[in-house]
């Protein structure tokens, strides 16, 4: 089953009523968040600070220990910049 994420901005007080039975574009709504997801993301300066602090050779070893893909982790870190 494929899933897509839509972000819709409403004026305060004009948000629609949403519940488990809500259909969107003919399909069932499976998750809702009532906050700005961007508040949980690193700012560009925070991401740069993290990237500057990382010793990438140590990160690669740790990725191998945890059996995660180093290139994917680095790409996700870079996507914050």
Reported pTM:
0.54
Domains of the chain: total: 1
Instruction: Note whether residue 51 is domain-resident.
Output: yes
pLDDT at 23 over 60: yes
Instruction: Note whether residue 4 is domain-resident.
Output: no
Provide the mean pLDDT of the chain. 88
Residue 41 CA to residue 6 CA, distance in Å, equals 17
What confidence score (pLDDT) does residue 81 get? 53
| Owning domain of residue 32 | 23-80
Burial track 33-49 (b if 16+ CB lie within 10 A, e otherwise): eeeeeeeeeeeeeebee
Instruction: Note whether residue 15 is domain-resident.
Output: no
Instruction: Note whether residue 44 is domain-resident.
Output: yes
Instruction: Note whether residue 7 is domain-resident.
Output: no
Instruction: Note whether residue 71 is domain-resident.
Output: yes
Note the pLDDT tens digit of each residue in 35-71.
Answer: 888 888 888 899 889 989 999 999 999 999 999 999 9
């Amino acid at each position: 089953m494929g899933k897509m994420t839509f972000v819709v901005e409403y004026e305060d007080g004009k948000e629609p009523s949403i519940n488990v039975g809500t259909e969107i574009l003919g399909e069932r709504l499976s998750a809702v968040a009532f906050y700005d997801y961007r508040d949980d993301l690193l700012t560009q300066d925070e991401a740069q600070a993290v990237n500057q602090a990382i010793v990438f050779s140590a990160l690669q070893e740790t990725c191998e220990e945890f059996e995660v893909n180093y290139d994917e982790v680095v790409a996700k870190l870079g996507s914050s910049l």
